[in-house]
Structure 1
Amino acid sequence: MTRWLLTHPDALIESDQARLKAVLANCPQQDALAKHVRTFAHMVTDLHGDQLPEWIASARTATDLPRLSRFAQHLERDVDAVVAGLTRPWNSGVVEDHVNRIKMLKRQFRRVGFELLRKRVRLA
């Protein structure tokens, strides 16, 4: 069910589309959740951060979806930063890639010692 909700509807195979449609028809809570998830995914992929306050208000009023409401509440804590992240085309992906690479090297060379790790990082 989670995979069906998190996958773009056009990317699902026909049998999964039919099953998802049946589940959503039989469970209004899942249907409401699917609408919220798809709206949020649209904001993330198409950089529509200006729609976030409206989405948060809608998600917070979803009393039958307490976890979604809690997620929206957490987004509200730093709404300006989240809106900026969903609006600007820049991200820290390159930096995160380097950090992950260094952490991987550190795990590989933990037993070998710092000098070999230092050389490996400099050469990589």
Structure 2
Amino acid sequence: MAGWILSRPESLAQSEQLQLKTVLAKCPELDAPTRHVRSFAAMLTQRHGERLPEWLNAVRQDDLPSLHTLAAGIDRDRDAVIAGLTLPWNSGVVEGHVNRTKMLKRQMLGRAGFQLLCKRALLA
């Protein structure tokens, strides 16, 4: 069910789309979360960060405590989130290098000294 809601509607098989419509018809409590999740996903993929304030207002109008928590977290750093949803730049490459370095450090913990760790990081 969560996979269907998190997927793009056009990427679902015909049978899955019908099953999702059936579930949503029988459980109207899922309409609002589905709508909010899909509109946030559209903001993410289409880089429409300027829509974030209206999305936050829409989330706050519904009785969805878990999404209220998400909205409160986003509000704490609203400018950065809007920039992340709007600008084409990201730190993905840097985060990949940091992740690789931390993995090497964990693998080498207690096995060798700093010089060997440096050598392995440079050769990896």
TM (norm. structure 2) is 0.93
Gaps of 5+ in 1: none
Q: Quote the Cα distance in structure 1 between the aligned partners of 2:105 and 2:13.
A: 41
Percent identity of equivalent pairs: 55
Alpha-carbon distance, 1:104 to partner: 1.3
TM alignment of 1:31-70, pairs within 5 A: 31-63=31-63, 65-70=64-69
TM alignment of 1:1-124, pairs within 5 A: 1-63=1-63, 65-113=64-112, 114-124=114-124
Alpha-carbon distance, 1:21 to partner: 0.9
Amino acid at match of 1:62: D
Gaps of 5+ in 2: none
How far does the alpha carbon of each residue in 1:36-94 deviate from its partner, in whole angstroms, 9 at most, with x for none? 1010000000100000000000001112x111122112211111111011000000101
| CA RMSD, Structure 1 to Structure 2 (Å) | 1.1
Q: Quote the Cα distance in structure 1 between the aligned partners of 2:23 and 2:72.
A: 27
Alpha-carbon distance, 1:121 to partner: 0.8
Alpha-carbon distance, 1:14 to partner: 2.1
Q: Quote the Cα distance in structure 2 between the aligned partners of 1:111 and 1:77.
A: 39
Q: Quote the Cα distance in structure 2 between the aligned partners of 1:16 and 1:111.
A: 50
Q: Quote the Cα distance in structure 1 between the aligned partners of 2:111 and 2:13.
A: 48
Following TM superposition, where does structure 1 have runs of at least 4 consecutive aligned residues deviating by more than 4 angstroms? none
TM (norm. structure 1) is 0.93
Comparing 98-107 and 114-123, the one that deviates more: 114-123
Q: Quote the Cα distance in structure 2 between the aligned partners of 1:111 and 1:11.
A: 47
